[in-house]
Structure 1
């Protein structure tokens, strides 16, 4: 009856989609013949088991670096056009309560392991160039997918240690890596600079399976990573599923003196942005958006998109005004920024798209944490969750996402930092913050500043509809969304501050206060309710005490610049603990 298992899956997905239209999600009954249709669908699925035991889907996981909440159109911003990102988000599921860690290395550690950062000693700062710290031993996300028969690729940023070769991506589960080891590099020459004791250390940081890729210098990083990824897709043997993680440099700031870099022709298209730095940042975002559209197009050209899951996240919020790696991003209207536990630092841009999702074209406000991606995608890949590490904190959200069922997650440990003595926890609608980070310097609201330097530009739903991603989606979708539906979803995904006239109770954890917020009603953390709900505060404090028992002390920062200096290795950032000179190459 069916030529391939993909045809069977499409039929089953289409049948269940019709069923959900009649019966309704989350148990709401519709037409009187919904139940008989459900019975018929289940009988048909039993008669043709191939419709359930379909091929493992391809996984494409895109990580934007330091992208702000207010820097994508689907969150209500008119500042930067992101038509391809928006088209995927609208036709997928917008994850409006997705949380990450507040900085890069901890977020990536949580993503790769499915564990809270505190269980890895990774709850502190991100890794620096020439540091001995690395992600602790243990099975990582790409290794789990290799066990399922996937080809695994990492394109772009690693940022989880490289003092020894066995700490680098191709020794931690990836078949291939094309990218950089440190937290950032420059967008054209791929030189990463770090200053220690007043001395600048400069090293080339772009590698192809461990070998420096000097020939790619001069080519814009976002384009370089996109072109490599497209080639991976084009040359992929479709008899095996593909796991492709694209961890962009964009839109992280680069080196001091040239923090922001983008092609001039892209910058010139954004003259409505008066501030030159914000304009360049916006051009960096548009190049990221262009990359997403190109990848979607490549997947469809290879006839892989119908059986692919695309996830998109930012690793943390934007460092709007922070002194280190300020990028002029915006988390408006959320409070705080990167390195803080306010929403602006940890509530990240995120969505998932796939033709395999039965109930798509929606916004979910259910809790999701970056640790959930490993079990969720492993489940999507037909993996047995019982094979995952039992100590994993991530929760399988795949059934909830596919069928719009209630999320199994009701709490998230946002972090505990035993050195700075600050912590935060989400519990159902509540969020508790104890203590502060960065001495409380960046606990306020910083997104408004960018509004003063941008002329109002109407949101262009037609550009979204006719973007590369938008056009491709209409080709593969049984029920593509309309521009009107885009506007409705955009409104639902937009968060707003409380009425300025409303009475509020401000809270500053830097002063020693414990802050409690009802996040669904107060997403911008303006009205502290701790004194009104002391029992909730006590319960959440007890939960933090229990989590504290599982904490592994932070890995101690240990910069070894004397032995890791790039000048010892042909002016490249290179594994050094088992090397002595530039002739030290990746072991076979």
Structure 2
């Protein structure tokens, strides 16, 4: 039989993927808006490195996460719906006696098949005891912070309890406070750690890095958004100073990706690497901790079950993907990454916990085969009585959070007073990532290939009719998401049998619900001044031994 060039490439990739374990870089952006990357149709904030990698990989246009940081990270690392772990409520706060329950996590699975594991950046899954921190939960190394946020330069995190501000240092390297890093911009600092880890590694082990960025989460009140001034100055077309700084923060994320791709190339690792890029939830455009991000044209934002809160910017890139340069509309949930990356990394799916909610979608991603996922439990919160479910094309929302405060459309709020910009495909093509990938790919994309992919991944409000629904009024809302991604046309009264079926499914899911973990704020004992003004594990050990794990 004659083997054509394309078949030969497929054979080589499949054979090499079985004989050599790939390296895995999992990048999590924090509170990044749907509309704040170029490949989703926005011209405001150029993201050439992100766009180039997305176009050359698989853009995941139906990638769902949780509406808060802690639940998303719990789902990502455990492969289970947060409501099965008692993690379905709000994110963990500083000094809160609450943590991700004991589970076998993604880094532990990967260590089982020989990986060296690093967490860089945010943890946010509890730290009241040392055994709740990353290096006790499967990561060989952790360089980052424990809380929801810290400042971008001084790494101080301030929390207000009983009208009093508690401030502590929150940056650690393998448990030790990293005071010597003060003054370096967080996005650059975490990128530098990743680049050095890649450049200096001599181990034959496959490498897993979870880069969990602080950017673009807001930091302390008073200076919520921070970026280098020279980067801010690149966005003079944005009049609003807060949106301008946010754009600079997104741009630094883009630079970070370019630097990591360059480091992988220099180390000759890129041809056997998987890069996944996701956001942990939608942008928080307004509210107590706004970051001026945009989820346009999606409804809602972080802290809601509308698309703007839970439909995440996401893509995967790897030379191991045979059917690349496409936009996938297959449902994928953040729980799917544990089984998917474990199998992609050489693990046997039979070794996984049979109670996982995540599906292994590696073959679907590689070969563009039908996905095994057709439904997603968005969440069940028994305290707010807020729940959501995707089932094929349908989405059901019951109840609301924050009394419906954020159930509106906010994307346009931060898009005013901005000079019209053109999308620069040449900048994408000539970006660090674009240049490297072009030389690596067997059949590289041309500059003219970007626009069709961009058009496919751009969401437009397409509902023929508008029938508003607000679950804050007690209404049950039903949407046909592929045809109404902006959730403008409630179909509940037209499809009562679908509503009944999906409500019954929620009832069945609820049988597996673990009550939300109650975490008291123990600021008396966790007060940073007791631990040399650092946020530090404080339970079950005397002060001196609590300083060092």
Q: Give the TM-score category using the shorter length.
A: over 0.9
Shift of 1:97: 0.2
User: Does the CA-based 8 Å contact 1:16-1:358 persist in structure 2?
Assistant: no
- From 4, 7, 19, the counterpart of 1:15: 7
Work out the CA distance in 1 between the residues paired with 2:213 and 2:129: 23
Could you tell me how far 1:51 is from its partner in structure 2?
4.7
Q: 1:578 aligns with which of 526, 531, 540?
A: 540
Q: Which residue of 2 aligns with 1:503?
A: 465
Where does residue 474 of structure 2 map in the other structure?
A: 512
**Corresponding residue of 1:350:** 314
> CA separation in 1, counterparts of 2:122 and 2:480?
35
How many residues are treated as equivalent by the alignment?
Answer: 547
SS at match of 2:312: coil
- Preserved contact between residue 153 and residue 182 of structure 2 (Cα < 8 Å): yes
Closer/same/farther in 2, CA of residues 81 and 530 from structure 1, 3 Å limit: same
Whether 2:466 is the aligned partner of 1:523: answer no
CA distance in structure 2 between the aligned counterparts of 1:418 and 1:269, rounded to whole angstroms? 46
Match among 398, 409, 432 for residue 373 of structure 2: 409
Whether 2:392 is the aligned partner of 1:428: answer: yes
Q: Does 1:305 align with 2:267?
A: no
Contact 1:336 1:345 in 2 (8 A): yes
1:264 corresponding residue in structure 2: 229
Structure 1 residue 75 and structure 2 residue 40: aligned?
Answer: yes
1:108 corresponds to 2:98: no
Q: Contact conserved, 1:57 with 1:307, CA < 8 A, in 2?
A: yes
1:548 aligns with 2:510: yes
Conserved 8 A contact 2:191-2:256: yes
Select 2:346's aligned residue among 376, 382, 392. 382
Task: Indicate the structure (1 or 2) with the bigger Cα radius of gyration.
Answer: 1
Corresponding residue for residue 451 of structure 2? 487
Find the residue that maps to 1:457 and give its secondary structure.
coil
Change (3 A) 1:555 1:465: same
Q: What's the CA shift for 1:558?
A: 1.1
Distance 1:362 1:513 in 2: 37
Deviation at 1:497, TM superposition (A): 1.1
On the 8 A contact 2:195/2:260 being kept in 1, the answer is: yes
Aligned residue number for residue 208 of structure 1: 173
Write the distance in 2 (CA, Å) between the matches of 1:283 and 1:375: 35
| 1:489 CA drift (Å) | 0.2
Task: Name the residue aligned to 1:3.
Answer: none
- Give the 3-state SS of the residue equivalent to 2:18 in structure 1: coil
Q: Secondary structure at the match of 1:329?
A: coil
Matched residues in 1 for 2:27 and 2:17: separation? 27
Contact 2:14 2:320 in 1 (8 A): no
SS at match of 2:235: coil
Counterpart residue number, 2:301: 337
SS in 1 for 2:190: helix
Alignment of 1:214-225 (within 5 A): 214-225=179-190
> For residues 27-71 of structure 1, what are the alpha-carbon distances to aligned partners after superposition, in whole Å with 9 as ceiling and x for unaligned?
xxxxxxxxxxxxxx7xxx9xx995563201000000000000000
Once residues 150 and 352 of structure 1 are traced to their aligned partners in structure 2, the CA distance between those partners, rounded to angstroms, is 20
Query: CA deviation digits over 1:92-149, x for unaligned, max 9?
Result: 0000000000000000000000000010000001000001100000110000000000
- Give the match's secondary structure for 1:159: coil
Pairing of 1:142-181 with structure 2 (within 5 A): 142-181=107-146
The answer as to whether partners of 1:367 and 1:411 remain within 8 angstroms in 2 is yes
| 1:390/1:256 CA distance change after superposition, 3 Å | same
> How far 1:578 sits from its partner (Å)?
2.6
- Aligned 8 A contact 1:236 1:242 in 2: no
Go from structure 1 to structure 2 and tell me whether the alpha carbon gap of 1:385 and 1:349 turns closer, same or farther (over 3 Å shift). same
> Would the aligned equivalents of 1:12 and 1:52 in 2 still touch at CA under 8 Å?
no
Cα shift at 1:516: 0.3
Over the aligned positions, Cα root-mean-square deviation in angstroms equals: 1.5
| Contact preservation (8 Å) 2:25, 2:210 | yes
Look up the match of 2:531.
Answer: 569
Partner of 2:440: 476
Quick check: 1:359–1:402 contact (8 Å CA) kept in 2? yes
Structure 1: gaps (5+ residues): 1-10, 19-40
Secondary structure, aligned partner of 1:355: coil
Q: Deviations over 1:278-317 (max 9, x none)?
A: 0000000000100000000000100000000000000000
Matches within 5 A, 1:431-442: 431-442=395-406
Q: 1:362 aligns with which of 321, 326, 346?
A: 326
- How many angstroms apart in 2 are the aligned matches of 1:442 and 1:283? 25
Q: CA deviation at 1:340?
A: 0.2
Mapped to 1, the partners of 2:138 and 2:260 lie a distance apart of 23
- Once residues 16 and 417 of structure 2 are traced to their aligned partners in structure 1, the CA distance between those partners, rounded to angstroms, is 53
Task: Give SS of 1:269's match.
Answer: helix
Q: Structure 1 length normalisation: TM-score?
A: 0.91
Aligned equivalent of 1:57: 22
User: How many Å separate the matches in 2 of 1:562 and 1:267?
Assistant: 40
Q: Retained in 1: the 8 A contact 2:17–2:320?
A: no
Distance 1:203 1:515 in 2: 43
Q: In 2 relative to 1, CA 416–91 (structure 1 residues): closer, same or farther, beyond 3 Å?
A: same
> 5 Å matches for 1:229-248?
229-248=194-213
